[in-house]
Amino acid sequence: MSCRPGFFLPVRVLSRLFRRLFLEKLIAAHQAGRLSFFGENIHLADARSFAAYLAPLRKAEWVVYSKRPFGGPEAVLAYLSRYTHRVAIANSRLISVDDAAVTFKWKDYRAKQRERQKTMTLAVDEFIRRFLIHVLPRGFHRIRHCGLFAKSSCADNIARARELLAVAKPEDQPTAAAVDPSKPSCPCCGGRMIIIEVFARSATPRHRPTAPTIVIRLDTS
């Protein structure tokens, strides 16, 4: 099957290949017990019901759309900024605010499409408490590097890239010897750990973990 000039694969072939691989992995996850179902979909936990549910999808034409991932660094920054510079709730979702309560719109993703848009009214202090849940404590990062720049392997990857590209190491970059050994690092990601409290053996720590809170999801789209 031929495809248009400039395309790597015919769209129909790509869509059917993706359909087969996706359904195979989905069935394997179901057989391994890695899928959970709730509410009106609880019956899909049964293998026969799940197979019957997937049967029509094997005949449906899946739509795939492939293109160049980004148009350049500017496009990447524009895409990420829509997520990194949002607040917990946009002003457009606020309906009314007074000295006693705040009323706002939110989406209930467990409901049907037409019933997702709902309103909620909270006391001012409760609204502020829920809003501040989205504020990260000091020392936490909202965005973490992954892949090539993952913290656990970033230094090794960059050193290897410089070696392959024959690029000299910047003079102002601190060496491993310059790192403060007194600051412990996470054994998993290699990041610097923050000491909350130090207490003697058998002593009762003064710091107590924050009690779990019930939060709602505030959609910012």
Question: Is 78 found in the same domain as 122?
Answer: yes
Asked whether residue 19 is assigned to any structural domain, the reply reads: yes
Q: Is residue 114 part of a domain?
A: yes
> Quick one: which H or E segment has residue 159?
helix 154-165
Contact 218/88 with Cβ under 8 angstroms?
A: yes
Report the pLDDT value the prediction gives residue 30, as an integer from 0 to 100.
95
Enclosing domain of residue 159: 147-175
- Residue 63 pLDDT level (bands cut at 50, 70, 90): confident
192 is a domain residue = no
Partnered with residue 107 across adjacent β-strands are 117
Q: For residue 149, give the DSSP letter.
A: G
Other beta carbons within 10 angstroms of residue 148's beta carbon come to 11
Q: If DSSP codes are grouped into helix, strand and coil, which group holds residue 105?
A: strand
Domain-located, residue 96: yes
3-state DSSP percent of the chain in helix, strand and coil, to 5: 40, 10, 50
Q: Average of pLDDT values for 159-168?
A: 87
Q: Which pLDDT band holds residue 48 (cuts at 50, 70, 90)?
A: very high
If asked whether residues 39 and 77 sit together in one domain, one would say no
State how far the Cα of 70 lies from the Cα of 73, in Å rounded to an integer. Answer: 8
